[in-house]
Amino acid sequence: MNKRKECESAEHRGAPAMMMLVNELSRFFRREMRKVCEENGVPLGYRSLLFHLARNNGCNQKLLSERTGLKPSTVSITVEKMERDGYVRRERNCLDSRAVNVFLTEKGLDIDRKNKEKVDQLERQFEENITNEERRTVVVILEKVMRGYCESQNFSCPACISKDGEEEDESNKEQVP
């Protein structure tokens, strides 16, 4: 079957639900990221923790659990395996001996660089048929949808957390045109 026919616009086949489109894009993305993990010999379960550690290197396991949505016990077991495999090192927090901070090793940083290269490539592919303005609009709308859902479920919202780990001020958010 012609790829053009398979990917007809939403207007021609009846507009699918927004979340179904988001789910399909997510499925494509996960498939490609799974390939990168397999190529690099990295267990798929490490990917989320590597991603969050690269952006919050040295954070504690509790924060990793909150940011990834994984149970604390899952984070603990996975971090232990990651340490054994050389991707991270753990250190007791000097201010709170109960807390353990997790740091990426060179090996972990290298895998994150490879993952980031693939993410950048996929973003270019996904965005090649839209303008910068359309891309910004999509991002603003998806962040708004995510914030609304997270607030309704009393979740910590990943879209509301800045790179330094602080909740962002909603008044500074870009408005949808």
Helices 72-84 & 61-68, crossing angle to 10 degrees? 110
The amino acid present at 83, given as its one-letter code, is E
109 pLDDT above the threshold of 70 = yes
Q: What is the pLDDT of residue 80?
A: 96
Average pLDDT (1-17) is 55
Residue 59 CB neighbours (<10 A):
18
This prediction has a pTM of 0.69
Q: What is the pLDDT of residue 165?
A: 45
DSSP designation for 95 = S
Check if the beta carbon of residue 43 is closer than 8 Å to that of residue 57: no
- Max Cα–Cα distance, the chain, nearest Å: 62
Q: What is the pLDDT of residue 100?
A: 87
C-alpha to C-alpha distance for 56 and 77, rounded to whole angstroms: 19
C-alpha to C-alpha distance for 102 and 92, rounded to whole angstroms: 9
Average pLDDT (115-142) is 92
Q: Each residue of 34-81: pLDDT tens digit?
A: 998 899 999 988 988 999 999 999 999 989 998 888 999 999 999 999
- Structural domains in the chain, sorted by start: 43-123 (1.10.10.10)
Contacts of 118 by beta carbon, 8 Å cutoff, 6+ apart: 32, 33, 36
Q: What is the pLDDT of residue 96?
A: 87
What percent of the chain has a predicted confidence (pLDDT) above 90?
53
Check if the beta carbon of residue 139 is closer than 8 Å to that of residue 175: no
Q: What is the pLDDT of residue 174?
A: 41
C-alpha to C-alpha distance for 131 and 166, rounded to whole angstroms: 30
Contacts of 173 by beta carbon, 8 Å cutoff, 6+ apart: 140, 143
Average pLDDT (136-145) is 92
Q: What is the pLDDT of residue 99?
A: 86
32 pLDDT above the threshold of 70 = yes
Average pLDDT (151-177) is 56
